[in-house]
Chains A and B, each alone.
Chain A
Amino acid sequence: MIRLLSRTTPVIVQGITGRMGSSHAALMRAYGTNIVGGTSSRTDCREVAGVPVFADCAEAVLTTGAVASVVMTSPGETFAAVQDALAAGIKLVVTVAEGIPLHDAIKIGRAARRAEAQWVGGATPGLAVPGECKLGYLPDVCLHPGPLAIMSKSGTLSYEIGLRLVREGLGQSIWIGVGGDLVKGVRFADLLPVFMDDPRTAGIILVGEVGGSEEEELAAAFERLGCWKPLYALLAGRAAKEGVSMGHAGALVHGETGTLASKTHRLGQAGAQVFSSIDALVNACVRRHRPLRR
């Protein structure tokens, strides 16, 4: 589903009458995303951001043919919203809420897997195919079509990289925030085959951080797939305090689990270029991928 996203993909926004839902539905439309409607429990509001508001996803899908949804509800309401989307046949669900309880996330993951749908999030700014569409709130100023695919646990750190690339004349093919939670939807390793098969993508940027094992899984997948596209990795959390979540629920080191040393070692071993500063990563991308200027 992710690899097929374009400006024609019909998308709904769940929680569209809320503060975030209404403003970001309008911003996504303005970017070019084909927002075809939204859902809300409010009965007094039939239109928001120029699109119709439905009582639930079943009605929205039946009327609009939507195949993707951006869930803009509170963390505690996210599981129910995803269940509603999956029951209606939605095949890509992006949940932006930060703070989804861990055991709710397990239930969401199991439900999405049963429904053979893709789940992106939580705690993510969403994803984008620059120049085509965005699902979520990646800042427009950072988005520009180009040869680099980005996958990131962090929103803000990826914004920083995206903006610097744009200022250097480089853009992105696909940009996916996998989110900062421990239990989530698509993971780094799931995205590698998507990026490898994508003809627009010439290089892959990984924005990782301490906690969990996603970076190590990606390293194993990179080796297994015999990847020929360069992988540039930036890892945050060198100075993280053990036993304490560093902002993201998943950014937790305890004992030997989730350490930066393990991630750096495995990615380097697999053939990735691992950087410890934003400048170093951007400079490497510029050297390899910036089009020659006349």
Chain B
Amino acid sequence: MMLIEADGKALLRAAGIAVPPSVWASAELPPALPGSGPWIVKAQVPVGGRGRAGGVVRCASAGAVGIATQRLLSARLKGHAIEACLIEQVVEGQERYLAIMVDAVGYGLRVIYSAQGGTEIGQAGGAEERLCAPHAGAVAEVLADLIAGEAEPIRGRIAAVGHALARMLLRHELALAEINPLFVSDAGCVAGDAKVVIDLNAVGRQPEIAALITARPDCYRDANRKLAEAFDYVEIDPDGEIGLVSTGAGLSMMLVDELTARGAKPLNFCDVRSGELRGNPARLIRVLHWISACPSVKAVLVNIFAGLTDLDEFAGLLVTAFGQCPGLTVPVVARLVGRGAAEAKQILHAARPGMLVTEDLQEALACVDRIVNST
């Protein structure tokens, strides 16, 4: 999962890497701006390419900062609501690119460097990279090679930033730590941006990362849900019309894709991990509560292809969950395949007569289409 820039920079700062002075702006504008301007206003959403997407605005005056901030706070960027902005004093200097990431093929770290930093670095292909063992010493060695063309004292300063970045990535078990641009000047090196991808599977033994996520329930709504509930629920469209209760990441993604391709509007992605319910309806109750809290929802589609799950037990838990969610008033369609599907159908029909329970996904999708289009 990607961190917002402000949290990435908090990690950089703690690792000893300088970042520009900044203030945080959410519902209200901050009383004072950092430095004397000009400033840069940046949407705090966990996505790349914010500049190209209109999420970064350079402002010459305090008035322009106010206008840009208010505009961004009422917008969405790449599927995320902009809950906050970071306002920074503009930094001057030459721009460099520096990144360290886990290399999945080589089982090591990939160090990437370019003497030309900037927003287009990902596409320009001007960067050089080296693979090394997952140790800070190995990173220092390959980085020394990558920055050999830099003159002192800049070379030494970049090497120090690289060493700190490698230690940060290893200490926090990160997938990616990228600084672009890294401003270099006579005054030293300053990280203009921070792109940090964390490993949610390691958060249990990374208290500082866990604290960053839990401190921002609005910015990391999906991740906080996952950490609290141990399953995945991602809001896709806040105005969605179809709530999904599904299991399996790939099949659930495909379900969202197929619904979208039909012109339908799924509310959410859901991998409830039905094989882990172990007789407890709590996860189903949570999901149905979240779905029924959205006024735009017109139907709920349950889709379980059971590899591990006994469907008769699942159906019993779903009926219990229905009973715990009186706010769920829209029709529910279920597509169930696997062990106990016939018994599950009986259980669901007994609890909700008239509900479509089928093994055929296309039949279920067509039924959902009819419901949505008739309301």
Taking Cβ atoms with an 8 Å cutoff, the residues of A that contact B are: 75-76, 99-103, 106, 109-110, 113, 125, 137-139, 141, 152-160, 163, 180, 182-184, 187, 207, 209-210, 212-213, 217, 234, 236-249, 251-252, 254-257, 276-279
Q: Is B326 on the interface with A (CB-CB < 8 A)?
A: no
- Closest chain A residue, CB of each to CB of B271: A247
In the bound complex, how far is the Cα of B308 from the Cα of A260, in angstroms? 29
In the bound complex, how far is the Cα of B266 from the Cα of A209, in angstroms? 18
- Closest chain B residue, CB of each to CB of A19: B278
Decide: A241 and B48 in contact? CB cutoff 8 A.
no
Given known A-B contacts A153-B250, A241-B234, A101 and B199 have beta carbons under 8 A apart: yes
Given known A-B contacts A102-B173, A102-B201, A244-B222, A255 and B122 have beta carbons under 8 A apart: yes
Given known A-B contacts A137-B308, A187-B105, A242 and B134 have beta carbons under 8 A apart: no
The residues in B between 83 and 127 inclusive whose CB is less than 8 angstroms from any CB of A are 102, 104-105, 107-108, 122-123
In the bound complex, how far is the Cα of B260 from the Cα of A217, in angstroms? 28
Decide: B107 and A139 in contact? CB cutoff 8 A.
no
Q: What chain B residues lie within 8 Å of A236 (beta carbons)?
A: 250-251, 253-254, 257
Decide: B45 and A243 in contact? CB cutoff 8 A.
yes
Q: What chain B residues lie within 8 Å of A125 (beta carbons)?
A: 307
Interface centre among B2, B105, B170, B254 (most CB of A within 10 A): B254
The residues in B between 224 and 270 inclusive whose CB is less than 8 angstroms from any CB of A are 232, 234-236, 247-254, 256-258, 260-261, 266, 269
Q: Is B78 on the interface with A (CB-CB < 8 A)?
A: yes
Q: What chain A residues lie within 8 Å of B80 (beta carbons)?
A: 241-243
The 10 closest A-B CB pairs, nearest first, are A154-B250, A255-B48, A156-B248, A247-B249, A157-B250, A243-B46, A156-B251, A109-B107, A247-B271, A101-B202
In the bound complex, how far is the Cα of B227 from the Cα of A245, in angstroms? 12
Q: What chain B residues lie within 8 Å of A254 (beta carbons)?
A: 2, 46-48, 176, 195, 197
- Closest chain B residue, CB of each to CB of A248: B249
- Closest chain A residue, CB of each to CB of B109: A106
Decide: A183 and B107 in contact? CB cutoff 8 A.
yes
Decide: A249 and B201 in contact? CB cutoff 8 A.
yes
Q: Is B338 on the interface with A (CB-CB < 8 A)?
A: yes
Main secondary structure of the interface of B (DSSP, over half): mixed
Decide: B257 and A239 in contact? CB cutoff 8 A.
yes
Interface centre among A157, A240, A255 (most CB of B within 10 A): A255
- Closest chain A residue, CB of each to CB of B173: A103
A-B contact pairs, 8 of them (CB 8 A): A141-B338, A154-B249, A157-B253, A180-B249, A182-B175, A241-B222, A246-B234, A279-B362
In the bound complex, how far is the Cα of B203 from the Cα of A249, in angstroms? 12
Q: What chain B residues lie within 8 Å of A76 (beta carbons)?
A: 204
Decide: A277 and B197 in contact? CB cutoff 8 A.
no
- Closest chain A residue, CB of each to CB of B247: A156
In the bound complex, how far is the Cα of B246 from the Cα of A42, in angstroms? 35
Kindly list 5 other residue pairs between chains A and B, CB separation below 8 angstroms, not including A102-B102, A209-B250, A245-B200. Answer: A102-B201, A157-B250, A246-B253, A255-B47, A277-B261
Q: Is B285 on the interface with A (CB-CB < 8 A)?
A: no
Q: Is B223 on the interface with A (CB-CB < 8 A)?
A: yes
Q: Is B1 on the interface with A (CB-CB < 8 A)?
A: yes
Min C-beta distance of B111 to chain A, whole Å: 15
Q: What chain A residues lie within 8 Å of B123 (beta carbons)?
A: 256
Min C-beta distance of A166 to chain B, whole Å: 12
Min C-beta distance of B55 to chain A, whole Å: 12
Given known A-B contacts A247-B269, A249-B201, A252-B2, A156 and B305 have beta carbons under 8 A apart: yes
Decide: A138 and B249 in contact? CB cutoff 8 A.
no
Q: Please pick, from A106, A160, A247, the residue contacting B134 in the complex, using a CB distance under 8 A.
A: A106
Q: Is B79 on the interface with A (CB-CB < 8 A)?
A: yes
- Closest chain A residue, CB of each to CB of B268: A241
Q: Please pick, from A99, A100, A243, A246, the residue contacting B249 in the complex, using a CB distance under 8 A.
A: A246
In the bound complex, how far is the Cα of B257 from the Cα of A109, in angstroms? 32
Decide: B251 and A276 in contact? CB cutoff 8 A.
no
Min C-beta distance of B310 to chain A, whole Å: 11
Decide: B253 and A237 in contact? CB cutoff 8 A.
yes
In the bound complex, how far is the Cα of B222 from the Cα of A121, in angstroms? 25
Interface centre among A99, A156, A240 (most CB of B within 10 A): A156
Decide: A160 and B175 in contact? CB cutoff 8 A.
no
Q: What chain B residues lie within 8 Å of A247 (beta carbons)?
A: 232, 248-250, 252-253, 269, 271
Given known A-B contacts A113-B107, A242-B79, A255-B47, A159 and B232 have beta carbons under 8 A apart: no
Q: What chain A residues lie within 8 Å of B105 (beta carbons)?
A: 187, 217
Q: What chain A residues lie within 8 Å of B173 (beta carbons)?
A: 101-103
Decide: B253 and A243 in contact? CB cutoff 8 A.
no
Decide: B1 and A276 in contact? CB cutoff 8 A.
no
Q: What chain B residues lie within 8 Å of A242 (beta carbons)?
A: 46-48, 78-80
Min C-beta distance of B345 to chain A, whole Å: 17
Decide: A106 and B307 in contact? CB cutoff 8 A.
no
Q: What chain A residues lie within 8 Å of B250 (beta carbons)?
A: 152-158, 180, 207, 209, 236, 247-248
